[in-house]
Amino acid sequence: MPSESIFSKIIKGEIPADIVYQDELVTAFKDINPQAPLHILIVPNKEIPSVNDITPEDEPALGRLFSVAAKVAREQGIAESGYRLLINTGRDGGQEVPHLHMHIFGGRPLGPMLLRRQ
C-alpha cells in the first residue's frame, strides 16, 4: 500500500494540527510555517496528489475547497480586506506535499503575484 501523505495523517487525526474546519469532503488547518499573518491550507480528504490527477468525480470536493475558503476568510476576518488563494503544482510550481491543497494567505497587503525574474 502506498504511504499516506502527511496531510492524510492530519485529516485522520493521527498527527496534530490546528484544524479550523472539517467536513466529509475537505479539511482546513493552519500552515505550520506561515508566510503571512493568516496562512491556512484547505485539502480534499481524498488524497489527490496534484491538480494533474483530478478526475470528474473530484469536482464536488474541489468546489467545496472554494466555498470553505470563503467561509474561513469570513470567519478569520479577512474577507473584506482581501486574500490570495494558491495551488502549487509540480516541480516548477513549488509543490512540496503531494496531496493537493489550496493555500489561503491574508492579513496584510500581499504584493505582486510573482517574484519578478532578475
Say whether 41 sits in a helix, a strand or coil: strand
Of positions 11, 17, 42, 43, contacts ligand AMP by CB under 6 A: 17
Which of these ranges, 51-59, 71-79, 92-100, 110-118, lies near ligand AMP under the rule CB under 6 A?
92-100
Of positions 13, 14, 23, 32, contacts ligand AMP by CB under 6 A: 32
SS3 per residue for 60-118: HHHHHHHHHHHHHHHHCCCCCCCEEEECCCHHHHCCCCCCCCEEEEECCCCCCCCCCCC
The answer to the question of residue 33 lying near ligand AMP (CB under 6 A) is yes
Of positions 58, 79, 95, 110, contacts ligand AMP by CB under 6 A: 95
CB of 111 to ligand AMP, least distance (A): 17
The residue among 80 and 96 lying less far from ligand AMP, judged by its C-beta, is 96
The answer to the question of residue 94 lying near ligand AMP (CB under 6 A) is yes
Q: How far apart are CA 48 and CA 118, in angstroms?
A: 34
Indicate left, alpha or beta for 63 from its phi (over 0: left) and psi (-120 to 50: alpha).
Answer: alpha
Would you say the C-alpha torsion 88, 50, 106, 62 has a positive or negative sign?
positive
Interacting residues toward ligand AMP by CB under 6 A: 6, 17, 31-33, 41, 88, 94-97
